[in-house]
Amino acid sequence: MWPNREISAFGGEKASRNVGESRQSVAKPGNICFWERESFPERRRKQTKCGQTGKYLLLGERKLPGTRAKADTYKLRKEKLEMLNKKGLKNEIYSLEEISKKTLTELEQLFKRAPKNVKLRGFRHGNSYQYFLRKSGTKENGTYIKKKDIETARIMAKIEYNENLLEEINRRRLDIQNMLNMSNENVYVTALNRMTEAKRNLISIPFVSDEEYMLNWLHQDFEKMGFKENMPEYYTRKGLRVRSKTEVIIADILDELAVPFIYEKPLRLNSDVVHPDFTLLDVKNKKEIYWEHFGMMDDIEYRNNAFFKIRKYEEAGLFQHDSLIWTFETSKYQINTKQLRKMITGLKETLGC
């Protein structure tokens, strides 16, 4: 479920994974459209230097196993999700260690109160139970524990339980450690890497990693909105021109927290085309989240246009708590950057990026 926050609401149904088939320049609600990775070098002519080979690659080109680069240097890993998973597993190990310490401390206290060199035996007797202390190494029932001494039986039972608990904790820790050491490659990649480079060159796998998916999404081609002459110029730290100081703040925090976004990407809403301020990528569900910031709500004409735009989203089947984020501010009540950062931090985890 999407987190329900005061200044945001988002979520929605999963979009199709088969997004590579779309070649539209304008997105439709609920779908993500970008071009197949083979077509990117044709569409993006800007060159960038490859850090591994020193050669120049066309922007959008990816090192693929056995095709564009040596397969043994190619790793399709879900690095960001792996990092989150490892963090969760390490936290679990830490929790188990804390439980283990408390259990050992309790065991030390119980051993001081328990009789030595005996074990507890218990049997059902009618509607109740009978307990015995049996010397270690013998098969006799042992000494019967009277009801007035039942606390001794409880101590012995707690000792056995805590010893079992420590064994389970150690077993669980080993399992987690093995999981941390396991390769996170997809089965398609693992199967491919068992083949020679020459054979890999003949295979095209149907798997696309989250990283490659995100890269392709970020490199979409679309017609951008222009800026009117004499408009104030606002730029983010990465040099992206936006339309307001608040949009600079939002974009910079998104960049800082590595949340993938596209600025003013066109979106078709029935017969209309709008340009959400920020289009975010839900990496987990392979869908888009649209963020509109309305920063001049003092102005009645601006406010009416804002509500008209919201109505357009609703008519297209997009609502708050679905796939949309609204943020608002006035000259008196400007956006709270502390709360904004907190919201985007939670958003980052939700989107799986």
pLDDT tens digit string along 238-266?
A: 999 999 999 999 999 999 999 999 999 99
Return the pLDDT at 266.
Answer: 95
- Domain total in the chain: 2
Q: In the listed set 181, 211, 233, which residue is the last one of a domain according to the structure?
A: 181
Q: Return the pLDDT at 157.
A: 94
Q: Are residue 121 and residue 170 in the same domain, yes or no?
A: yes
Residue at 191 is within a domain: no
pLDDT computed for residue 158 by the predictor: 94
pLDDT of residue 76: 38
How buried is 237 (Cβ within 10 angstroms: 0-12 exposed, 13-18 middle, 19+ buried)? exposed
**Rounded distance between C-alpha atoms, residue 337 and residue 323, angstroms:** 22
Q: Give residue 131's domain range.
A: 81-181
Looking at residue 27, its pLDDT comes to 52
Q: What is the pLDDT of residue 351?
A: 82
pLDDT at 3: 43
My answer on whether 331 and 238 are in the same domain is yes
Instruction: With respect to residue 283, please indicate whether it lies within any of the assigned structural domains.
Output: yes
Cα–Cα distance measured from residue 297 to residue 313, given in angstroms and rounded to the nearest whole number: 18
Q: Tell me whether residue 271 is in a domain.
A: yes
In a domain, 209, yes or no: no
- CA-to-CA distance for 272 and 134, rounded, in angstroms? 84
43 located within any domain: no
Could you say which residues of the chain have pLDDT below 70? 1-87, 181-186, 207, 353
Q: What is the pLDDT of residue 138?
A: 78
Instruction: Note whether 346 and 273 are same-domain residues.
Output: yes
**Within this chain, do residues 345 and 247 fall inside the same structural domain, yes or no?**
yes
Q: Are residues 255 and 150 in the same domain?
A: no
Which pLDDT score is estimated for 84?
52
CA distance 321 to 319: 6
Model confidence pLDDT, tens digit, residues 39-81: 334 434 444 444 444 444 333 334 334 433 333 333 433 444 4
CA atoms of 234 and 243, how far apart (whole Å): 6
Q: Report pLDDT for 63.
A: 39
Same domain, 166 and 242: no
In a domain, 294, yes or no: yes
Predicted pLDDT at 322 = 77
Is residue 40, in this structure, part of any structural domain at all?
no
Kind and range of the H or E run holding 89:
helix 79-113
Residues 231 and 171 in one domain: no
| Predicted TM-score of the model (pTM) | 0.48
Q: Tell me: do 177 and 225 sit in the same domain.
A: no
Let me know whether 88 and 152 are in one domain.
yes
Claim to verify: residue 241 and residue 340 sit in the same structural domain: yes
The answer to whether residues 259 and 156 belong to one domain is: no
Last residue of a domain, one of 181, 201, 232: 181
Q: Is residue 29 part of a domain?
A: yes
Do 244 and 326 sit in the same domain of this protein? yes
Last residue of a domain, one of 181, 203, 234: 181
**What sign does the dihedral 309-312-314-318 (CA atoms) show?**
negative
